[in-house]
Amino acid sequence: MSIMVYPREDRLEKLSQEEIISSTKLVIQGLEALKSEHNSILHSLLETIRCLKKDEEANLVHEKSSLLRKSVEMIELGLGEAQVMMALSAHLNAVESEKQKLRAQVRRLCQENQWLRDELAGTQQKLQKSEQSVAQLEEEKKHLEFMNQLKKYDEDMHNTITCTSFLERLDG
């Protein structure tokens, strides 16, 4: 005898993926047992057909064997679908894992990007200060050059006045 497993209709809550996979594994085991049982019954019916000589009894056994074959085909279909569900679950788990890895990488890249922006802002501030220092030094240099020119002018004027007064004294 086999045990049929029916889904509970009164249960409206969502099943987790692990629960679905666990249930699917149980269903696969049940279907495998059912398939084995059907195949053994089918085998015994085929042996009975070989031994029977009466047409009426043979027809009944043929009918039963054809029903059993259909049942085995349905069981095999169920097994195939369960295996597809298992493969799909494994694939979805792999996709989810990859998605988590990519999210972690995006977070890391965002942090690195923010760090680079902070570094850039600091470097830009240093550049601005350096440019201000250069501009201030250039202004100071121009002022010193101007003061040197004035000093030379004053010295030239003083020498001219001194030479002029010396010449005036010599003339006078």
Q: Which residue has the tokens 């470097």?
A: 123
> Nearest-CA neighbor of 78 among 128, 121, 24?
24
pLDDT beyond 50 at 104: yes
What does the pLDDT read at residue 110?
97
What does the pLDDT read at residue 8?
53
Segment 107-116, tens digit of pLDDT: 999 999 999 9
List the domain boundaries for the chain.
17-171
> Nearest-CA neighbor of 113 among 101, 105, 125?
105
What does the pLDDT read at residue 2?
45
CB-based contacts of 25, cutoff 8 Å, min separation 6: 86
* 44-58, 64-78, 106-120: range with lowest mean pLDDT: 44-58
pLDDT: is 4 or 70 the higher one?
70
> How many Å apart are CA 44 and CA 1, to the nearest integer?
15
pLDDT beyond 50 at 150: yes
3-state secondary structure of 4: coil
Cβ atoms within 10 Å of 171's Cβ, excluding its own: 6
Q: What is the mean pLDDT of residues 4-12?
A: 49
Average pLDDT over the chain, rounded to an integer: 84
Q: How confident is the model at residue 4 (pLDDT cuts 50, 70, 90)?
A: very low
pLDDT: is 60 or 23 the higher one?
23
> How many Å apart are CA 62 and CA 69, to the nearest integer?
10
CB-based contacts of 52, cutoff 8 Å, min separation 6: 58, 61
Q: What is the mean pLDDT of residues 15-28?
A: 84
